[in-house]
Amino acid sequence: MSGFEDKSVLKAKYRNRTEIIASVLEAAKDDGTRKSRIMFTTYLSYEQLTFPSSAYLLPL
């Protein structure tokens, strides 16, 4: 048995805009936090992190 047979560990969780923004703000609350640390903490790619922030605030 390998460690990857437990499917609950590999299940993806979808987040809405509010959850993404909250996780970015939480990760960036310390002064001088770098983009790479925010990306690692929030599980976002560079493209997702640099996406215009105003797009997250627009209605669906």
Quote the pTM value: 0.64
pLDDT at 7: 52
19-59 pLDDT per residue, tens? 988 998 999 998 888 999 999 999 999 888 887 766 666 66
10 vs 37: CA distance, rounded Å: 23
**17: CB partners within 8 A, 6+ apart:** 56, 57
Which amino acid is residue 57, in one-letter code? L
pLDDT at 14: 87
pLDDT at 55: 65
Domain borders along the chain are: 11-52
pLDDT at 41: 93
